[in-house]
Amino acid sequence: MYQPTFNPNNITFARNKLYARESFERIEIIAVHIDLKTISTYLDIGSQLGYFVYKINELNHDILATGIEMNEISYMYSELLGILNKTKNVAFMNSELTSEIAYNMPCYDLVSFLNVFHHIVHFKGFSEADKIMKCLYKKTNKYFIFETGQYNEKGLYWSNDLSFMGNSPTQWVFEYLQMLGFSDVKMVSKFKTHLNSEERGFFICTK
């Protein structure tokens, strides 16, 4: 797991915080570039331990924040955090994201899709990942936040599946997000992971 535990009440947990992937820094950047007072609904896809869901809700308690997570243990952990910390306006769904689910889900003011796309490409193929992205564009009312594994991250089980990105993967992502139809696409930062020394582009798109 790559996220720290959202734990404002300092409840004792056994889980450590290794490989937290600068989650708080990402939240800070989101808060700088998006006026969260204008957001009523938020969806985090691949929400893991729910850190982004809880932190966005913490910044504006009126936001109805939802996470979708396919791992049952992570989903239950996220739910438990909300109960123990008595958090309101937060919900989680235990499900894999497919193009069918993306097509049928409601619209959200803010959607984040962080470090999931490359896994879908590997396991389901680019065609399915592309269908999901096109559905997510339609389901985004205002802002879409995106980060993905890139082709220049060599030697990983999904690396070769991203060959379509070519030698300039961040440029490919930028142009792909534009192609989806977003009126404004900005790479607002880059972040390393624990996997290698390469940095992944962190994009915020405006509908």
Rounded Cα–Cα distance for residues 10 and 20 (Å): 18
Amino acid 8: pLDDT: 65
Amino acid 7: pLDDT: 61
CB atoms < 10 A from the CB of 27, how many? 17
> Residue holding tokens 């069918």?
100
State which amino acid sits at residue 83. I
Whether the pLDDT of residue 135 is over 70: the answer is yes
Please tell me whether residue 51 adopts helix, strand or coil conformation.
Answer: helix
Query: Which pLDDT band, with edges at 50, 70 and 90, does 14 fall under?
Result: very low
Q: What is the DSSP letter of 36?
A: G
Q: What predicted TM-score, i.e. pTM, was given to this entire model?
A: 0.89
Sign of the CA dihedral running 200, 185, 204, 97: negative
Q: For 109-120, write each residue's pLDDT tens digit.
A: 999 999 999 999
Domain range list for the chain = 25-206
Q: For 144-181, write each residue's pLDDT tens digit.
A: 999 999 988 888 888 899 999 999 999 999 999 999 99
Whether the pLDDT of residue 43 is over 80: the answer is yes
Question: In the predicted model, what is the mean pLDDT of residues 103-108?
Answer: 98
Closest CA to 39 of 16, 57, 14: 57
C-alpha distances in Å from residue 138, one per residue of 45, 111, 133, 196: 15, 11, 9, 33
Exposed, middle or buried by CB within 10 Å (0-12, 13-18, 19+), for 119? Answer: middle
Rounded Cα–Cα distance for residues 145 and 27 (Å): 11
Q: What is the CATH number of domain 25-206?
A: 3.40.50.150
